[in-house]
Structure 1
Amino acid sequence: MNRSLLSLLIGSMAYASGAQAFVVSDIRIDGLQRISAGTVFNALPIKVGDDVKVPAVADATRALFRTGYFKDIQMGQDGKVLVVKVVERPSISEIVISGNKAIKTDDLKTGLGKAGLSEGEIFQQATLEAIRQELERQYVAQGRYGASISTELEAQPRNRVKLSIKIKEGKVATISHVNIVGNKVYPLEELLDLFELKESHWYSFFGSSDKYSREKLSGDLERLRSWYLDHGYINFNITSTQVAISPDKAHVYITVNIDEGDKYTISDVKLAGDLIIPEEEAEKLLLAKPDQTFSRKVITQTETSLSRRLGNEGYTFANVTGVPKPDHDKKTVALTFFVDPGRRVYVRRINFNGNTKTDDEVLRREMRQMEGASANTEKIEMSKVRLERLGYFKAVNVETPPVPGTSDQIDVNYTVQEQPSGSVTASIGYSQSDGLLLGGSISQSNFLGTGNKVSIGLNKSDLSQLYSFNFTNPYYSVGGVSRGFGVHYRTYDYEESDISSYAADSWGGNVNFGYPLSETQSINFGFGVEGTKVTTGDTSPQVFKDYLEKEGDSFTNFQATLGWSESELNRGLLPTRGYSQSVSSQIAVPGSTTTFYKLVYRGQYFQPLTDSLTARFATRLGYAGAYGNTDDVPFFEHFYAGGFGSVRGYKDNTLGPKAMEDTEGGDYNSMGGDTLIEGTIEVLFPLPFVKDQRSLRTSVFFDFGNVFDNSGNDHEGVVDSSKPSFSDLRYSAGVGLTWITPLGPLTFSLAKALNPKDKDETQVFQFSLGAPF
Structure 2
Amino acid sequence: MKRSLLSLLIGSLAMAPGANAFVVSDIRIDGLQRVSAGTVFNALPMEVGDDIQSPEIAGATRALYQTGYFNDIRMSRDGNVLVVAVVERPSISAIDIKGNKAIKTEDLMKGLERSGLAEGEIFQQATLEGIRLELERQYVAQGRYGASITANVEPQPRNRVKLGIDVKEGKVATIQHMNIVGNNAFPKEELLELFELQTAEWYQFFTSADKYSREKLSGDLERLRSWYLDRGYINFNITSTQVSISPDKQSVYITTNIDEGDKYTISDVKLAGDLVIPEAEAEKLLLARKDQVFSRKLITTTEEILSRRLGNEGYTFASITGIPKPDHDNQTVELTFFVDPGRRAYVRRINFSGNTKTDDEVLRREMRQMEGASASTHKIEQSKVRLERLGYFKEVNVETPPVPGTNDQIDVNYTVEEQPSGSVTASVGFSQSDGLLLGGSVSQSNFLGSGNKVSVGLNKSDVSQLYNFSFMDPYYTIDGVSRGFDVYYRTYDYSDTDISSYAADTFGGNVRYGYPLSETESVSFSLGVDGTEISTGSGTPIVIKEYLDEEGTKFTNIKTSLAWSQSELNRGLLPTAGHSQSLSLSAAVPGSTTTFYKLVYKGQYFQPITRSLTARFATRLGYGDAYGSTSEIPFFENFYAGGFGSVRGYKDNSLGPKAPQNGNLNDLNSIGGNVLVEGTFEVLFPLPFVKDQRSLRTSVFFDYGNVFDTSCSTSDAAGVKDCTKPKLNELRYSGGLGLTWITPLGPLTFSLAKALNSKGEDETQTFQFSLGTPF
Q: Same fold (TM over 0.5)?
A: yes
* Residue number in structure 1 paired with 2:602: 602
Contact 1:559–1:588 (CA<8 Å) still a contact in 2?
yes
- CA distance in structure 1 between the aligned counterparts of 2:286 and 2:774, rounded to whole angstroms: 53
Question: CA deviation digits over 1:317-339, x for unaligned, max 9?
Answer: 22222111111111111111222
3-state SS, counterpart of residue 764 of structure 2: coil
Q: Against the structure 1 CA distance between its residues 569 and 639, is the aligned structure 2 distance closer, same or farther, given a 3 Å change threshold?
A: same
Q: In the TM superposition, what are the counterparts of 1:204-603 in structure 2 within 5 Å?
A: 204-422=204-422, 425-603=425-603
Q: Against the structure 1 CA distance between its residues 347 and 166, is the aligned structure 2 distance closer, same or farther, given a 3 Å change threshold?
A: farther
Contact 1:11–1:78 (CA<8 Å) still a contact in 2?
no
- CA distance in structure 2 between the aligned counterparts of 1:433 and 1:613, rounded to whole angstroms: 31
- CA distance in structure 1 between the aligned counterparts of 2:489 and 2:649, rounded to whole angstroms: 31
- CA distance in structure 2 between the aligned counterparts of 1:249 and 1:345, rounded to whole angstroms: 58
Give the CA deviation at 1:58. 2.6
- 610-619 or 103-112, which deviates more: 103-112
- CA distance in structure 1 between the aligned counterparts of 2:10 and 2:350, rounded to whole angstroms: 74
- CA distance in structure 2 between the aligned counterparts of 1:81 and 1:636, rounded to whole angstroms: 108
Q: Against the structure 1 CA distance between its residues 49 and 236, is the aligned structure 2 distance closer, same or farther, given a 3 Å change threshold?
A: same
Q: Against the structure 1 CA distance between its residues 13 and 66, is the aligned structure 2 distance closer, same or farther, given a 3 Å change threshold?
A: closer
Which amino acid is 2:741 matched to? W
Give the CA deviation at 1:81. 2.4
* Residue number in structure 2 paired with 1:625: 625
3-state SS, counterpart of residue 714 of structure 2: coil
- 323-332 or 603-612, which deviates more: 323-332
* Residue number in structure 2 paired with 1:766: 768
- 423-432 or 667-676, which deviates more: 423-432
Say yes or no: does 1:730 pair with 2:751.
no
Give the CA deviation at 1:11. 10
Q: Against the structure 1 CA distance between its residues 511 and 275, is the aligned structure 2 distance closer, same or farther, given a 3 Å change threshold?
A: same
Give the CA deviation at 1:404. 3.2
* Residue number in structure 2 paired with 1:747: 749
- CA distance in structure 1 between the aligned counterparts of 2:424 and 2:539, rounded to whole angstroms: 35
3-state SS, counterpart of residue 407 of structure 1: coil
Which amino acid is 1:727 matched to? N
* Residue number in structure 2 paired with 1:756: 758
Contact 2:18–2:77 (CA<8 Å) still a contact in 1?
no
Which amino acid is 1:709 matched to? D
| Aligned residue pair count | 766
3-state SS, counterpart of residue 531 of structure 2: strand
Contact 2:9–2:74 (CA<8 Å) still a contact in 1?
no
Contact 1:502–1:536 (CA<8 Å) still a contact in 2?
yes
Give the CA deviation at 1:588. 0.7
* Residue number in structure 2 paired with 1:42: 42
Which amino acid is 1:370 matched to? M
Give the CA deviation at 1:155. 2.8
Give the CA deviation at 1:423. 7.2
Indicate the percent of aligned positions where both proteins have the same amino acid.
76
* Residue number in structure 1 paired with 2:3: none
- CA distance in structure 1 between the aligned counterparts of 2:147 and 2:317, rounded to whole angstroms: 47
* Residue number in structure 1 paired with 2:58: 58
- CA distance in structure 1 between the aligned counterparts of 2:73 and 2:264, rounded to whole angstroms: 70
- CA distance in structure 2 between the aligned counterparts of 1:763 and 1:203, rounded to whole angstroms: 30
CA RMSD after TM alignment:
2.0
* Residue number in structure 1 paired with 2:641: 641
Give the CA deviation at 1:664. 4.4
* Residue number in structure 1 paired with 2:143: 143
Contact 1:425–1:444 (CA<8 Å) still a contact in 2?
no
* Residue number in structure 2 paired with 1:691: 691
Q: Against the structure 1 CA distance between its residues 772 and 194, is the aligned structure 2 distance closer, same or farther, given a 3 Å change threshold?
A: closer
Give the CA deviation at 1:530. 0.6
- CA distance in structure 1 between the aligned counterparts of 2:105 and 2:708, rounded to whole angstroms: 62
Q: Against the structure 1 CA distance between its residues 621 and 161, is the aligned structure 2 distance closer, same or farther, given a 3 Å change threshold?
A: same
3-state SS, counterpart of residue 714 of structure 1: helix
- CA distance in structure 2 between the aligned counterparts of 1:158 and 1:73, rounded to whole angstroms: 19
Give the CA deviation at 1:42. 2.1
3-state SS, counterpart of residue 528 of structure 1: strand
Say yes or no: does 1:720 pair with 2:684.
no
Contact 1:425–1:744 (CA<8 Å) still a contact in 2?
no
Q: Against the structure 1 CA distance between its residues 339 and 64, is the aligned structure 2 distance closer, same or farther, given a 3 Å change threshold?
A: farther
- CA distance in structure 1 between the aligned counterparts of 2:38 and 2:387, rounded to whole angstroms: 58
* Residue number in structure 1 paired with 2:5: none
3-state SS, counterpart of residue 205 of structure 2: helix
Give the CA deviation at 1:52. 2.0
Q: Against the structure 1 CA distance between its residues 526 and 765, is the aligned structure 2 distance closer, same or farther, given a 3 Å change threshold?
A: same
Contact 1:146–1:170 (CA<8 Å) still a contact in 2?
yes
* Residue number in structure 2 paired with 1:702: 702
Contact 1:520–1:566 (CA<8 Å) still a contact in 2?
yes
- 568-577 or 92-101, which deviates more: 92-101
Question: CA deviation digits over 1:436-482, x for unaligned, max 9?
Answer: 00121232211222211111121111111111111111111221111
Which amino acid is 1:601 matched to? Y
* Residue number in structure 2 paired with 1:662: 662
Give the CA deviation at 1:12. 5.7
Which amino acid is 1:443 matched to? S
Contact 1:437–1:772 (CA<8 Å) still a contact in 2?
no
- 358-367 or 751-760, which deviates more: 358-367
- CA distance in structure 1 between the aligned counterparts of 2:395 and 2:213, rounded to whole angstroms: 30
3-state SS, counterpart of residue 691 of structure 2: coil
Give the CA deviation at 1:17. 9.1
Q: Against the structure 1 CA distance between its residues 77 and 424, is the aligned structure 2 distance closer, same or farther, given a 3 Å change threshold?
A: same
For structure 1, the residue ranges without an aligned partner over 5 or more in a row are 1-7
Give the CA deviation at 1:604. 0.2
Say yes or no: does 1:165 pair with 2:165.
yes
Q: Against the structure 1 CA distance between its residues 16 and 408, is the aligned structure 2 distance closer, same or farther, given a 3 Å change threshold?
A: farther
Give the CA deviation at 1:316. 2.1
Q: Against the structure 1 CA distance between its residues 608 and 10, is the aligned structure 2 distance closer, same or farther, given a 3 Å change threshold?
A: closer
Which amino acid is 1:764 matched to? T
- CA distance in structure 1 between the aligned counterparts of 2:518 and 2:17, rounded to whole angstroms: 94
Contact 1:142–1:212 (CA<8 Å) still a contact in 2?
yes
Contact 2:648–2:753 (CA<8 Å) still a contact in 1?
yes
Contact 1:15–1:54 (CA<8 Å) still a contact in 2?
no
- CA distance in structure 1 between the aligned counterparts of 2:282 and 2:110, rounded to whole angstroms: 51
3-state SS, counterpart of residue 208 of structure 1: coil
Q: Against the structure 1 CA distance between its residues 188 and 398, is the aligned structure 2 distance closer, same or farther, given a 3 Å change threshold?
A: same
Moved >6 Å (runs of 4+): 8-11, 15-18
Contact 2:399–2:413 (CA<8 Å) still a contact in 1?
yes
Question: CA deviation digits over 1:373-421, x for unaligned, max 9?
Answer: 2322222211211111111111122222233333333322222222222
Give the CA deviation at 1:29. 2.0
Say yes or no: does 1:21 pair with 2:8.
no
Which amino acid is 2:72 matched to? D
Give the CA deviation at 1:345. 2.5
Which amino acid is 1:92 matched to? I
Which amino acid is 1:611 matched to? R
* Residue number in structure 2 paired with 1:187: 187
3-state SS, counterpart of residue 100 of structure 1: coil
Which amino acid is 1:171 matched to? K
Which amino acid is 1:393 matched to? F
Which amino acid is 1:293 matched to? V
- 55-64 or 647-656, which deviates more: 55-64
